[in-house]
Amino acid sequence: MQNESDSQLKLIGPFRQIVTMRDLPLKGALKDEALEVIYEGGILINSSQIVAVNSFEVLKKEFSDQLIAIDHVEEDLVALPGFIDAHTHACFAGSRARDYAARNNGKSYLEIAQEGGGIWSTVKHVREADKYDLIDATAKRLDKLLASGITTVEIKSGYGLNIEHELKMLRVINEIKQKHQIDIHATCLAAHIIPKDWEEGEEAYLQLIIDELVPKVKEEKLCHRFDIFIEEGAFSVETAKSYLNTLKERGFQLTVHGDQFHPGGSQVAIDCRAISVDHLEASGDSEIAALSKSDVIPVALPGASIGLGCAFTPARKLLDQGCSLAIASDWNPGSAPQGNLLTQAAILGTFEKLSTAEVFAGITFRAAKVLGLNDRGSLDKNMIADIIAFPTKDYREILYHQGELRVSKVWKKGERL
């Protein structure tokens, strides 16, 4: 970034309120009084980065000789950092409406999977889909996310479940990444479940990933993160631990699907020094205590709780015990088909009694840390100028409307979309 003295700057504003999300801790509970709210504020940017956030009039006067443009905001708007959805399966094909109806008709998630539904149903659809169908369907979902204020998203593979189709998914995600305005971070979830057409057991399947998929991922630079689902019907604790440790040695970041239906996965995440463990609906006091002593970031996925009709992640307990907490949509065709992060986060906040500050933190700077990102998630100097704005004078209206108050303006890297 250039020095401010020889920069050509643009000023965006005035916003009725700017909720900066800066100078807040990564871990622990947050009260709304901790939020910095700048009234009649402006955001000064140089190209794609923020130079300063302050009173609009103060910035206009202080930098008057360097301003080349003012992006003037006429309406009543509240600005926030662009939202970050740090856990999605947004690259998929087909529908699982049949699964949804079966669950509501009394069958369990595991029963549906055993009868040919569940993840394996989506695997069949993805294997049958060609590259261009996947690109088109995924890009349309990303359009929806960007319009809802999500400026950075993680997308997992995991519906290929063999070398050919896992590579197909990761290549699709990377091809979209080159074209779409939203920032995309790919994660390899080849260890989603043991493929039904694989007969040699979980250890042999994970070794296949290590021996044949990982070299290709490295060679083509398809992702730097790996994930695994630790659960009955997926992968066991001990096998997962060995797999993750090998990936750690190969230089990959780690995340874990853990404690969704049964505990165990969160301890693996701790032992393997994963960045995050996602789900945690089955986490009890001992799991929460262990997480509180670690640097692993818990990620709540309220969309899965809503889709499956099960308990929410114990978010209040996690925060009160000193953990961090990110919130993500888990958008997928099976357990979390809704895909609306703001609605899900607002509902989680209601049931878990989370402050507005805690919810906003979970979908901004704390979510950024889940993806290993330090350049976004707050409106502050040197951060990427990802800015979203809601048509209101009061930031508290945003969660109050539970997703029905829609984002009306998005600036991606300083450019109004």
The per-residue pLDDT for 7 is 65
Same domain, 42 and 110: no
Beta strands, E only, 310-363: 326-327
Q: Are 254 and 273 in contact (CB under 8 A)?
A: yes
Total structural domains in the chain? 2
Residue with tokens 């400026």: 151
**pLDDT of the residue at 4:** 45
> Do 397 and 258 have their domain in common?
no
Report the C-alpha dihedral over residues 139, 145, 151, 152, rounded to 10 degrees: -70
pTM over 0.85: yes
Average pLDDT of adjacent 10-residue blocks, the chain of 417 residues: 61 98 98 98 97 98 93 97 98 95 89 87 96 97 98 98 98 97 98 96 97 98 98 95 98 98 98 98 98 98 96 98 98 96 98 98 99 98 98 98 97 96
Answer yes or no: do 60 and 145 share one domain. Answer: no
The two structure tokens encoding residue 320: 């009160």
pLDDT confidence of residue 117: 87
Q: Which two tokens stand for residue 319?
A: 């925060």
Helix, strand, or coil (residue 41): strand
For residue 254, the domain's CATH number is 3.20.20.140
Beta carbons within 8 Å of 5's beta carbon, 6+ residues apart: 66
Looking up residue 410, the CATH number of its domain turns out to be: 2.30.40.10
Check whether residue 252 and residue 334 sit in a common domain.
yes
Q: What pLDDT is stored for residue 5 in this prediction?
A: 45
Residues 59 and 108 in one domain: no
Same-domain status, 198 and 291: yes
Place of tokens 């001992």: 286
In angstroms, the first-to-last Cα distance of the chain is 23
DSSP state of 384: B
Segments forming the whole domain that contains residue 387: 4-81+377-416
